[in-house]
């Protein structure tokens, strides 16, 4: 059992955050057992963490483990960037020793950023995906992990056969779905341009029958959209995925920037989720998410780092960018904080287990160094959302287990 004395910030809902001053936070095994005002009579045995803030562990709904080392390699157009940097980087994971090493680096960086749950793409090799699962289990990560699929229009050293792509995905799913309280498999076609209709149709059927999760990219870049239109001889982009059975409440589409009204309606009617990655969208000059239109259509929006087109795994940084990358729509600090904690957890169906600090929930949290200067309590959340990424994470805990100490 651990019991600490500290201040807490925890989301209540989309637009409200609770600040709890001088509280005792306790957890035993994997669960939070108490969040209450510090009482010297009851809590004399607390560890003193008053120089930190306790926050729910951050949740990242879109990131690429195998690309971790190519952050910041500049090429401001999606398709050129994939050819020049992403494909060569992912090809390195064919070597199982490299796949293990990059997984270790990635999870260490994830925990050092205070992130406790992530939705992860790996390289297009079954062994590389297995290495990511093994490392996640060893180090204690909470994650959805998928092998990236590409059975056409891809470099020879990454190209999978349709049968390999499908059958290895199913094997990975059968092995890892429900095998641990922390890990799950997610089917991961890279995007429409790299996947055949047959593969996507088989994935659509399987994920529908089994209620499995699926992630892919959608409508990120105008050149990509035009190529999808030519390749599939139909439009819009979302309709391609719809026709192949990929739209479901457990489908997470990254970017979704250049959607038409009918596409937004299509995503909404299938209760699909969108992973918004503002850092990546402006790094690759992809465009600006129509946040108000998706919000109006009640499409759940999550925030993702999209490393490596995103430059960092630090979700406080991405919270800030979610605000900055809306040129005329103002996202308040409460909403930003919700997105990287409870909102992202809810998007992944984990809202009743993690995403906020409450008794009964699992102990996924991070302890962030407080600013050195005095910040009034009521201004702390705003400061955190706009420059909190500069503050060091002192400890990260997942399901009660310390996975990182700064
Ligand atoms: Zn991505």
pLDDT score recorded for residue 257:
98
DSSP of 350-385: -TTTSSS--TTSB--EEEEEPPSS---GGGHHHHHH
Model confidence at 163, pLDDT cuts 50, 70, 90, reads very high
Domains of the chain: 2-56+354-405 (2.30.40.10), 58-313 (3.20.20.140)
**Ligand 1 center from residue 145 Cα (angstroms):** 13
- Is the pLDDT score of 1 beyond 90? yes
Q: What is the pLDDT of residues 57-82, one digit of tens each?
A: 999 999 999 999 999 999 999 999 99
**Ligand 1 center from residue 42 Cα (angstroms):** 48
**Ligand 1 center from residue 41 Cα (angstroms):** 51
**Ligand 1 center from residue 304 Cα (angstroms):** 9
Q: What is the pLDDT of residues 147-156, one digit of tens each?
A: 999 999 999 9
**Ligand 1 center from residue 116 Cα (angstroms):** 19
Q: How far apart are CA 263 and CA 319, in angstroms?
A: 26
**Ligand 1 center from residue 122 Cα (angstroms):** 11
**Ligand 1 center from residue 50 Cα (angstroms):** 38
Count each helix (H run) and each strand (E run) in the chain, helices first: 15, 15
- Is the pLDDT score of 178 beyond 90? no
**Ligand 1 center from residue 113 Cα (angstroms):** 19
| Residue carrying structure tokens 């003193």 | 48
**Ligand 1 center from residue 3 Cα (angstroms):** 38
Q: How far is CA 232 from the centre of its chain?
A: 29
**Ligand 1 center from residue 217 Cα (angstroms):** 6
Q: How far apart are CA 293 and CA 257, in angstroms?
A: 11
How many CB atoms are closer than 10 A to CB 313? 23
User: Mean pLDDT over residues 283-287, rounded?
Assistant: 95
Put simply, whether the predicted model's pTM sits higher than 0.85 gets the answer yes
- Is the pLDDT score of 180 beyond 90? no
Q: What is the pLDDT of residues 306-349, one digit of tens each?
A: 999 999 999 999 999 999 999 999 999 999 999 999 999 999 99
Tell me how far CA of residue 244 lies from CA of 182, 259, 370, in angstroms: 30, 18, 49
**Ligand 1 center from residue 153 Cα (angstroms):** 17
């Amino acid at each position: 059992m651990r019991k600490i004395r500290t201040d807490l910030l925890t989301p209540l809902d989309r637009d409200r955050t609770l600040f709890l001053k001088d509280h005792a936070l306790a957890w035993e095994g994997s669960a939070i057992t108490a969040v209450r005002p510090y009482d010297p009579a009851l809590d004399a045995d607390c560890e003193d963490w008053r120089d930190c803030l306790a926050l729910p562990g951050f949740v990242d709904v879109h990131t690429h483990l195998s690309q971790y080392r190519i952050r910041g390699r500049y090429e401001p157009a999606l398709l050129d960037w994939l050819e020049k940097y992403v494909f060569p980087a992912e090809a390195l994971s064919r070597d199982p020793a490299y796949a293990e090493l990059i997984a270790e680096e990635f999870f260490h960086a994830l925990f050092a950023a205070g992130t406790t749950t992530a939705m992860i793409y790996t390289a297009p090799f079954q062994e590389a995906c297995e290495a990511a699962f093994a490392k996640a289990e060893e180090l204690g990560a909470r994650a959805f992990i998928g092998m990236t699929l590409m059975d056409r229009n891809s470099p020879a050293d990454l190209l999978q056969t349709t049968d390999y792509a499908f059958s290895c995905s199913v094997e990975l799913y059968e092995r890892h779905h429900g095998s641990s309280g922390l890990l799950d498999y997610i089917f991961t076609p890279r995007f429409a341009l790299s996947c055949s209709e047959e593969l996507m149709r088989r994935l659509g059927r399987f994920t529908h029958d089994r209620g499995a999760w699926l992630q892919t990219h959608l409508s990120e870049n105008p050149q990509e959209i035009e190529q999808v239109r030519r390749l599939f001889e139909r439009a819009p982009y979302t309709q391609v995925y719809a026709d192949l059975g990929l739209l479901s409440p457990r489908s997470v589409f990254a970017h979704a920037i250049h959607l038409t009204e009918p596409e937004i309606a299509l995503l909404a009617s299938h209760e699909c989720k969108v992973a918004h990655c503002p850092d990546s969208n402006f790094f690759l000059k992809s465009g600006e998410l129509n946040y108000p239109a998706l919000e109006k259509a009640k499409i759940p929006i999550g925030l993702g780092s999209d490393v490596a087109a995103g430059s960092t795994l630090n979700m406080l940084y991405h919270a800030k960018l979610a605000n900055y990358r809306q040129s005329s729509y103002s996202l308040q600090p409460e909403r930003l904080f919700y997105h990287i904690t409870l909102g992202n957890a809810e998007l992944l169906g984990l809202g009743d287990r993690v995403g906020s600090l409450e008794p009964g929930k699992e102990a996924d949290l991070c302890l962030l160094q407080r600013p050195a200067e005095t910040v009034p309590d009521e201004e702390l959340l705003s400061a955190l959302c706009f420059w909190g990424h500069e503050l060091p994470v002192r400890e990260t805990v997942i399901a009660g287990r310390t996975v990182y100490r700064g």
